Chains A and B, each alone.
Chain A
């Protein structure tokens, strides 16, 4: 690409390399899942670089010297290397299915990935200057770059910025590109968000294969990429796809942990949860639903006499809490409040609005989501398929009760927030409604795979071995 590409390419390689180190430290190797692994590495590394970026800015490192930011990752890399040396690689399960089936599945995934990369490439023809990607996300990154950190200039700039309370992960990812490019860019800074779409595709390719035979899994992945909202995600630097990415990694890793009871999967799930919580405020809702369901599960386990065994690996779950904490601290420091939570002079607070508006808005909100889920072009009827599978297969629904409950609670939260909107509900639905479904879409796709897998099971797995798949 004839963009000034070298520096941004380096800026993208560093998080990937750091992500590989994080995964090694956790005991996760390429052979654990050759399709999903690059996506996991990208997710883990992006979190590390955004964290380093935040630390450099808070400590007054400025934005003018890329080597400062590059060097700042070295101590983290060293710790990870030392940690990785002591880690035990996870046992690898051989993939089920015949060779022919696996190749067919791979061909379908390659086609899906080809479609996504084609859209990604064409999207680079347009610089970031319109839409929320310019107004909220890129502008926040530009403000951080112009102000050189969180000083008075940043504070002054926040006053005129729309949704200045939104979490920092997206702007920090763009700032990372600016720093390495040595200037504000208008195209390549979209890449960290765009890359989340092929990454989600790869995570789904690896995850669905655990539940379905390879060709069926390939068909489902191909179905997933045929969505206008996925097209929109790959064309814009929005944060919704980052929530979706974190969510599907969280769900997949949880299901792997449930099957194998290895701490590494729980740690990967925590990284997914960290991304979704640091990407957009909706991630808080997912995390709250997750906390509620996990608490419920724990309570049931305690009643059954199962003691709580906390291990060091569980500490990684402090990361999503830290992501929420960083956002809250930022907003407290700069006296920012989310517009949905704010007390409005005429309509009151969120709870007051919910009671005042439920009669007028409930049907409209539910009708909107119903219509979106029934439109083939939006989400390929996968949300509808999930509802039908849950209704038809009570056993499967019980088996996946925890994840389904988290999904249902999150969706209910979205509906309640929209009913209580301080804005015109029609406008709010039109501008944000579909993107909310996008945030859950990859997880919905994976749950469809898990439920369909009860009728189209992947072949019985062989014994656990340490050989490569």
Chain B
């Protein structure tokens, strides 16, 4: 029985070492980068990863995020886009990197719903007529940020 215990320990410890060696490096970056990078660089890398996954150009979502971050911290942000819109999905995926007060203020609105109240609005594509009275805060390549 003692021999069986020793053989079991040797077998599983070897398997553990093999698994650890396989997992030794991760595609996110190197140990050197983990020691060097600032938090902002780590966030940039995460944003870029989401942009790639959504098939968006580098900096597309980062520009929108910067515009949102420049808003007053208590401002609510709504996104006007179709449910399957990959830009919307990318932004929602990154919502936890926004200001904490705003995380749960994001509302995703279908195109047909009218927007009211004090919320800011991210619109992808043309601005709907019903939102025309809102103030244009910032405009990107094919997105707009509208204020109350």
| A contacts, CB < 8 Å to B | 1-4, 108, 111, 115, 118-119, 121-130, 134-135, 138-139, 142-143, 145-146, 157, 160-161, 184-188, 216, 219-220, 222-228, 231, 376-377, 380-382, 385, 392, 452, 455-456
Contact A118 B38, beta carbon cutoff 8 Å: no
B28: shortest Cβ distance to chain A, in Å? Answer: 4
Contact A129 B97, beta carbon cutoff 8 Å: yes
- Chain A residues contacting B94 (CB-CB under 8 Å) are 129
B114 in contact (CB, < 8 A): no
- Chain A residues contacting B99 (CB-CB under 8 Å) are 184
A-B contact pairs, 14 of them (CB 8 A): A1-B34, A118-B24, A123-B26, A126-B45, A127-B97, A139-B103, A188-B39, A226-B16, A226-B20, A227-B19, A381-B8, A382-B12, A385-B8, A455-B5
CA distance in complex: A220, B5 (Å): 10
Residue from B16, B18, B31, B104 with most neighbouring chain A CB atoms (10 Å)? B16
Contact A186 B43, beta carbon cutoff 8 Å: yes
B70 in contact (CB, < 8 A): no
- Chain B residues contacting A125 (CB-CB under 8 Å) are 26, 28-29, 33-34, 37, 42, 45
Contact A225 B96, beta carbon cutoff 8 Å: no
Size of interface on B: residues with Cβ below 8 Å to A:
43
B4: shortest Cβ distance to chain A, in Å? Answer: 8
B55 in contact (CB, < 8 A): no
Q: List the 3 closest pairs (A to B, CB-CB), nearest first.
A: A226-B16, A142-B100, A219-B9
CA distance in complex: A111, B24 (Å): 12
Q: Among the listed A4, A128, A135, A381, which residue makes an inter-chain contact with B12, where contact means beta carbons less than 8 Å apart?
A: A381
CA distance in complex: A385, B15 (Å): 15
CA distance in complex: A186, B47 (Å): 13
Q: Among the listed A1, A129, A157, A227, which residue makes an inter-chain contact with B104, where contact means beta carbons less than 8 Å apart?
A: A157
CA distance in complex: A227, B12 (Å): 11
Residue from B10, B17, B24 with most neighbouring chain A CB atoms (10 Å)? B17
B46 in contact (CB, < 8 A): yes
B 35-51 to A, binary, CB cutoff 8 A, 1 in contact else 0: 11111001101100000
Contact B12 A186, beta carbon cutoff 8 Å: no
- Chain B residues contacting A225 (CB-CB under 8 Å) are 16, 20
Contact B35 A121, beta carbon cutoff 8 Å: yes
Contact B39 A3, beta carbon cutoff 8 Å: yes
B111 in contact (CB, < 8 A): no
